[in-house]
Amino acid sequence: MLSFKDKYQFAKKEVLKIIIALSALMIVSLIYYLHIRQEALFVAVKRAEATLENTEKTILIRMGKIETIVNSIQPMVEYALDDPDAMFDIARHTVESSSRIMGSGIAFKEGYFPEKGRWFEVYVGYQKGDDTLVARQIGGPNHDYLQKEWFQEGIASQKGIWSDPYYDNAGGMTFLMTYSVPVRDEEGEVVGLIGADIAVDTFVSIIRGIKLYPNSFCTLVAGDGTTLVPPPSKTPKGKCHVFSEEIDGKNLKLTITIPDADMYKRLRQSTAFFVILALSGILTVFFIAYRSVQNLWKLNEVRAKEQHIEDELAIARHIQQSLLPSDSLPDIAQKVDISGLQVPAKFVGGDLYDYYIRDNKLIFCIGDVSGKGVPAALLMAIAHSLFRTISAHSDQPDHITRELNRSISDNNPDIMFITMFLGVLDSETGLVTYCNAGHNPPVLLQSGEAGYLELADNLLIGVEKDTEYSSRTLQLGDGDTLFLYTDGLTEAENTQKELFGEERALEIAQKLCGASAEEQIKAMQSAVKQFVGDAEQSDDLTLLAIRYLSTKEQLTLTNDIQELERLEPFLENFFNRNNLDVTLLPSVNLALEEALANVIMYAYPKGVQGEVTLSTNIKGEDILMEIKDKGAPFDPLQQQQANLDVPLEERQIGGLGIHLIKEIMDGVEYARADGKNVLKMRKKLAVSS
């Protein structure tokens, strides 16, 4: 036993160590604060630059679609130069080609059609306050387009150009941008222009949707300084950071404004929390130092006994590790990527995870037994055995959990309990049926985002024998990951007694979207090790990552033409998730929009609501697209293709849509199966670097 003098000397040394540690902590905290502040600015700059770049691409893609439509219709104007009245139908067709086109104009050089007079400019657009298309000849003394800058520049350019934003009080009657393409006669001389107008308002939803921080905002300004999308009526006060991006070739500029108060908000909150935590830590450390003096002599006696126990526990640990499953899943390796890790806090632990394959389904679980050491390890072994036995006869997670709870509750004299997450993944569909019994919510990595899975409120296992459990379902897509863990992750402590926490775990998981299951496990373990540092592991750590590898995605629309607005975001998400060349996006979108519009408008009788389903997938070097509907049997490939070589008035109605689809796609097939029209399309892809 230590004497009073020995205790006093020991306490004196410990207090000196604490004073030195606290002084160092204050210095490091100040340096860390300045570093984090700089990091916050760096992150804001990168986020702003990336957002501006992505927004620019979105606007360019949307404008590129208009360019594609106008360029494809320009030959029709040249074929019909001998029939000026046909220009009305062509302009109308241009407007109807896209819901984003507000109007279309076809203007000719002075006196090109003598019978029409000096001016001849056809304009078809939507009537103000109405969805009715109105066709007019708007050229004349009150609208001398021959003197307009857009007409003169378009004629001189010899190629398609975009106008600067302008207010069109003759045709569109709104603030527009026009894409114009020269029209040439048989000798190749430019005789006029065909153009399509889009409202600048079409960009408002994109600009307003940019919200990097709660009070940040984005504006859109024309090259002449005209504000097209203004800032909000109430702008934040104080210092702000402004980031700008010129939209390539369109004489437009995007600007994002971020207030300092938003940028450093979390840093200020973290600093206040750290101060409170540090004060609490100081009191705790002094108390621990005081108790350490009293308990020092007890530790010397216990250590000798522990050595004997450790030798026996080493054998038990080897047995426990042998119960863990192998990461290899040869039967469904192409559909499921899985990896697990278990690190007991002591020689043996109370965590468990297990999985195996039955009938092309992955049956898996992760659990945490209350307590640590040998009692927890024994209950873990029992739970592992029961899981295997019960799940061999049932693939319903709620049933498995209910039976497991009954068995453990019948023989639980020490009133120990288990938290468990149990699920069944169908490798063919990606559907996960799961049941949670008081366990930590898994992290779902889906569509490039990480978030915690919503769970039902079920009781822990081993508390009440007759407890009922409920299941939920989750649909996994290509590359989606269900990341399971025990509280040894979120409650891992560093030397300052700080917790790793759910927020930090989610931040790490966010960076792992797209990584393999093994890489996710290693990265999370590495993050915990780095955070904990030299601190002793306080709890068992168990991780299990289940990543689904299907690439198929699906979009279901009703037979309402407004539903087509959902097509472009769906395709953009599909291209981004699969790292596809976005230059293919406008043409693929145009072809699919044409095919879907045909189904929406004609497949079902008027007044009857129906659905059309678009499925997209990647196979080899091709994008596979499939459109299904339950409408009247119709084979679009049997329609006579439009002959663009004959005059417009002599052509048969229809055929332009399927002609466009065949031109864009690398393969088109039709079949009638199970009472459905099935149109299959194939497009060769290019993977971006």
Rounded Cα gap, residues 98 and 662, in angstroms: 19
State how far the Cα of 87 lies from the Cα of 96, in Å rounded to an integer.
14
Same domain, 543 and 557: no
CA–CA distance, 392 with 28 (Å, rounded to integer): 55
- Domain end, chosen from 522, 548, 574, is at 548
Hey, how many other C-beta atoms are within 10 angstroms of the C-beta on 478?
17
- Please tell me the distance from the alpha carbon of residue 70 to that of residue 109, in angstroms, as a whole number: 19
pLDDT above 60: residue 497? yes
Token output for 684? 């060769």
* 275, part of any domain: no
Q: Is residue 279 part of a domain?
A: no
Is the same domain home to 506 and 591? no
Distance CA 294, CA 301 (A): 13
118-127, 166-175, 207-216, 408-417, range with the lowest pLDDT: 166-175
Name the residue with tokens 């973290």: 270
**pLDDT beyond 80 at 11:** no
Q: Domain holding 477: CATH number?
A: 3.60.40.10
Max mean pLDDT among 267-271, 308-312, 394-398 falls in 394-398
Q: Which H, E and C letters describe 512-567, residue by residue?
A: CCCCCHHHHHHHHHHHHHHHHCCCCCCCCEEEEEEEECCCCEEEEEECCHHHHHHH
* Statement: residue 39 has pLDDT above 60: yes
Distance, CA of 125 to CA of 115 (rounded, Å): 24
For the chain, how many helices (H) and strands (E)?
14, 26
CA–CA separation, 241 and 597 (whole Å): 44
d(CA 389, CA 295): 46
* Cβ-Cβ contacts under 8 Å for 648 (sequence gap 6 or more): 76, 79, 80, 83, 86, 89, 90
Q: Is 660 within a domain?
A: yes
Q: Is a pLDDT exceeding 70 seen at residue 308? A: no
- Say whether both 598 and 530 belong to one domain: no
- With respect to residue 350, please indicate whether it lies within any of the assigned structural domains: yes
Out of 10-24, 318-332, 339-353, 444-458, pick the least confident: 318-332
Is residue 273 assigned to a domain? no
Query: Which CATH number is 620's domain given?
Result: 3.30.565.10
- Segment holding 425, helix H or strand E: strand 418-426
Sign (positive or negative) of CA dihedral 53, 56, 62, 67: negative
pLDDT score at 3: 60
The pLDDT of residue 648:
41
Q: Are the C-beta atoms of 87 and 106 separated by less than 8 Å? A: yes
Q: What are phi and psi of 687, to 5 degrees?
A: -85, 125
Q: Check residue 566 and give left, alpha or beta (phi > 0: left; psi -120 to 50: alpha).
A: alpha
- The two tokens of residue 493 are 């402590």
Q: For the chain, state the CA radius of gyration.
A: 34
| Mean pLDDT lowest among 260-269, 376-385, 628-637 | 260-269
- Both 15 and 39 in one domain: the answer is yes
Report d(CA 243, CA 262) in Å as an integer: 15
Asked if residue 486 lies in contact with residue 528, where contact means CB atoms within 8 angstroms, the answer is no
Same domain for 368 and 337? yes
445 pLDDT above the threshold of 50: yes
Listed residues 513, 548, 583: the one ending a domain? 548
Whole-prediction pTM? 0.42
314: confidence class by pLDDT, cuts 50, 70, 90: low
Is 60 exceeded by the pLDDT of residue 313? no
CA dist 475 to 357, 423, 548, 619, 661, Å? 19, 12, 10, 21, 32
Residue 662 neighbours by CB under 8 Å, 6+ apart: 641, 668
Amino acid sitting at position 400: I
- Please indicate, yes or no, whether residues 655 and 672 belong to a single structural domain of this protein: yes
Choose the final residue of a domain: 514, 548, 582.
548
**Residue 408 CA to chain centroid, in angstroms?**
41
pLDDT by residue (tens digit) across 611-631? 999 999 877 678 889 999 999
Angle at which helices 373-391 and 397-410 pack, to 10 degrees?
A: 130
Answer whether residue 305 is part of any domain.
no
Residues 627 and 537 in one domain: no
- Burial label, 632 (beta-carbon count in 10 A; 0-12, 13-18, 19+): exposed
The pLDDT-based confidence of 440 (bands split at 50, 70, 90) is very high
Residue 581 pLDDT: 86
Asked if residue 652 has pLDDT above 50, the reply is no
**Domain count of the chain?**
3
Assess if residue 317 is contained within a domain.
no
Q: What is the mean pLDDT of residues 285-292?
A: 65
Amino acid 315: pLDDT: 52
Question: 483 and 561: one domain?
Answer: no
Q: What is the pLDDT of residue 649?
A: 47
Does any domain span residue 462? yes
List the beta strands (DSSP E) in 202-350: 217-222, 227-229, 240-247, 252-259, 336-343
Torsion, CA 661, CA 663, CA 668, CA 672, rounded to 10? 40
Q: Of 185, 112, 119, 179, give the one whose Cα is nearest residue 147.
A: 119
- Closest to 293 (Cα-Cα) out of 494, 5, 562, 555: 5
Structure tokens at 268: 């200020």
Q: What pLDDT is stored for residue 482 in this prediction? A: 97
- The answer to whether the beta carbons of residues 680 and 668 sit under 8 Å apart is yes
Per-residue confidence at 10, pLDDT binned at 50, 70, 90?
Answer: low
List the single range of 245-259, 520-534, 631-645 with lowest mean pLDDT. Answer: 631-645
Q: Which residues pair with 268 in a beta bridge?
A: none
- Quote the DSSP letter at residue 13: H
On the question of pLDDT at 196 being above 50, the answer is yes
Asked if 474 and 434 count as a contact pair (C-beta separation under 8 A), the reply is: yes
CATH code at position 164? 3.30.450.20
User: Do β-strands 336-343 and 351-358 pair in parallel, antiparallel, or remain unpaired?
Assistant: unpaired
Q: Calculate mean pLDDT across residues 26-38.
A: 77
Do 338 and 391 lie in one domain? The reply is yes
Let me know whether 496 and 473 are in one domain: yes
Residues 234 and 341 in one domain: no
- Whether 501 has a pLDDT exceeding 80, the answer reads yes
Give the pLDDT of residue 527.
94
The residue segments making up the domain with residue 569 are: 553-684
Q: Is the pLDDT reported for residue 557 higher than 70?
A: yes
- How, if at all, do strands 166-168 and 174-184 pair? antiparallel
Answer yes or no: do 415 and 369 share one domain: yes
Residue 411 and residue 443 in contact, taking contact as beta carbons nearer than 8 Å: no
